[in-house]
Amino acid sequence: MVGEVSPDGNFIWNGEVWVPKEEYSPSPEVTEETANNVFHLGEQELAGDVGWEPVTEKSSEGGKGKLIAMSIVGMLVLSALGWVLYAFVIDPMLFPDPYSKTKFVSVVDDHPTTEDVISGNSGPWACFVEMEIEEEDGMTLRTNFDIYASENSARSYSKLTVAFFGSFESDVWIDENQIAWQMDDSETVTKNKVAISGLDTSPAEEILYNSSAPVELCFVHHEIVASMEENPSQKFSSDKERFPDEEGVRAVKVETQMEIDGEDGDMNIAVYFDDDENILGTKISNSSFECLITYSDDSFSKPGWVSSANSEAPMLVDLDFNNIWSMEHNSMVNSQYNATYSMDGAKIVIYDTEYDDYDNSTNMVIHEVSIQDAMNGGALIQPTNWNNEPVNCTLSYTDSDADELISTGDTVSIVCEEDVLNGLYLGLANENGVAEQVSMDVLPWTSPIFTLIALLGAAMLVSRRDSIVI
């Protein structure tokens, strides 16, 4: 047997001969049996891709998945902690500090008053008023008022929305050269403009004082200060709050109440300021009324519709007590928005009004004279009496401020030898027709139903505004 040691211990059988023990080096034993028992598969293809992978790789992949999952969970936890830290620690620290009553008064005093806006000293100014009124019968009225004012121009946009009945819009633009207005009743849009020589006041003053917009609400913070000075016990509180909603700007809120006469009760008023002490806006509310007021000091430009507006509209002027009832009659000129007009081509007219089956009126001019002639001692017309005989009548124009312009305060008079113009009207006109003032309020004019609803809404607004006790 290979590896067998001789009895004397000095030799080892290598399979063929006995060799000295020190020279023996065994070789790998490969038995014939083993060799014969090897099962050769040969080259065969598997039926399909089994996708076996080493156990070590699967184990490694599972570890990576756990690490990724743990990382995601950690990130979520950190994000949640970060949000909590920001929401409850950092964010409150970024809010402006609440105001004392003294601080509130001081901050408000630094903001523009109505007079500051009118003078142009405050630069461009805009106020946006959104109102919602809920009636007991469930009807909801929504109004929007956008008011713009600068040194040389002003604009007032109004929109009334009545549930189930549509919306009505009015847009008025005034500058030193023109007055333009656009009316929209959801079915018809009318755009007109008239050229003017100027204004006796200013565009800002006319918009702020002579429009239907609730301008006083834009300056309610000044009224609050005046009220607190008169009534030291008036409710006052201040807190941190975003404006106008929870996604809005960090602000300090000052809240108070104003008494409202009538069934609506008290009005809650909250004024908001940013961290630079600029006013952001105001919220006013009670059980049936909500109002949001915001501001802007960005410059603004003339609206695009003005350029396409009809320029052949008559002058926005009328004469008070213009119905002639006697041989001598005097009327004063009233110019809408205190605008002034050139006398070139302007006339004094005697006219009558006719109505068609749809209640549309037409002015029929019967007599006319130029204003220039009427200013120089009066101009003569000769209407006929009942006997078809001519009667002398003298039309006169008095330029009260001697500016040679048609303006508020001028007077028109007529003196006749007989009462031959009874029932007719005295007026002014130019090449575009008889002058008349135009309602530019956000009130519909085509439907009696809409008109009634709008009037009720407007009356409600006025009553709420006028009933504030400050």
pLDDT grade for 27, boundaries at 50, 70 and 90: low
CA–CA separation, 440 and 171 (whole Å): 8
Integer angstrom CA distances of residue 44 from 37, 47, 49, 53:
20, 9, 13, 20
pLDDT tens digit sequence for 294-336: 999 999 999 999 999 999 999 999 999 999 999 999 999 999 9
Q: Name residue, tokens 């302007």.
A: 346
pLDDT at 453 over 50: no
Contact 228, 105 (CB under 8 A): yes
3-state class (DSSP) for residue 1: coil
pLDDT tens digit sequence for 260-300: 444 456 789 999 999 999 999 999 998 888 999 999 999 99
pLDDT at 389 over 60: yes
What pLDDT is recorded for position 458? 46
The candidate with the shortest Cα–Cα distance to 379, out of 405, 430, 414, 346, is: 414
3-state class (DSSP) for residue 328: strand
What pLDDT is recorded for position 192? 98
Amino acid present at 215: V
pLDDT tens digit sequence for 392-436: 999 999 999 999 999 999 999 999 999 999 999 999 999 999 999
Cβ atoms within 10 Å, residue 378:
16
Conformational region of residue 371, where left means phi above 0, alpha means psi within -120 to 50, and beta covers everything else: alpha
Q: What angle do CA 255, 271, 242 make, to 5 degrees?
A: 95
CA–CA separation, 331 and 319 (whole Å): 6
pLDDT tens digit sequence for 86-122: 555 555 667 899 999 999 999 999 999 999 999 988 8
Strands lying side by side in the sheet with 433-434: 361-370, 347-355, 425-430, 433-434
CA–CA separation, 74 and 68 (whole Å): 10
Sign for the CA dihedral angle at 22, 27, 31, 32 comes to negative
What pLDDT is recorded for position 185? 85
Residue by residue, DSSP assigns 413-462 as EEEESS---TT-EEEEEETTEE------SS---S-HHHHHHHHHHHHHHH
Question: Half-sphere exposure (CA, 13 Å, Cβ side) for 260?
Answer: 21
pLDDT at 148 over 80: yes
The residues facing 294 across adjacent strands are 128, 281
pLDDT tens digit sequence for 29-46: 544 444 444 444 445 444
Q: How many angstroms separate the most distant Cα atoms in the chain?
A: 182
Contact 324, 426 (CB under 8 A): yes
pLDDT tens digit sequence for 354-371: 988 877 889 999 999 999
What pLDDT is recorded for position 443? 54
pLDDT tens digit sequence for 125-143: 999 999 998 876 667 888 9
End-to-end CA, the chain: 128
Cβ atoms within 10 Å, residue 412:
22
What pLDDT is recorded for position 343? 97
DSSP H stretches of helix in 86-168: 91-94, 101-109, 114-119
Element (H, E) at 33: helix 32-36
% residues pLDDT > 70 (the chain): 80
- Separation of CA 361 from chain center: 36
What pLDDT is recorded for position 99? 97
Cis previous bond, 96, omega within 30: no
Amino acid present at 99: Y
Instruction: Check if CATH label 3.10.450 holds for domain 106-303+441-469.
Output: no
pLDDT tens digit sequence for 221-251: 999 999 999 999 999 999 999 999 999 999 9
- Separation of CA 40 from chain center: 90
Domain ranges of the chain: 106-303+441-469, 316-434
Reported pTM: 0.76
Residue by residue, DSSP assigns 183-243 as EE-SS-EEEEEEE-SEESS-HHHHHHHSSSS-GGGGGHHHHHHHHHHH-TTS--EEEEEEE
Could you give the angle at which helices 101-109 and 220-230 cross, rounded to 10 degrees?
A: 130
CA–CA separation, 246 and 254 (whole Å): 17
Amino acid present at 447: S
The candidate with the shortest Cα–Cα distance to 190, out of 311, 363, 362, 310, is: 310
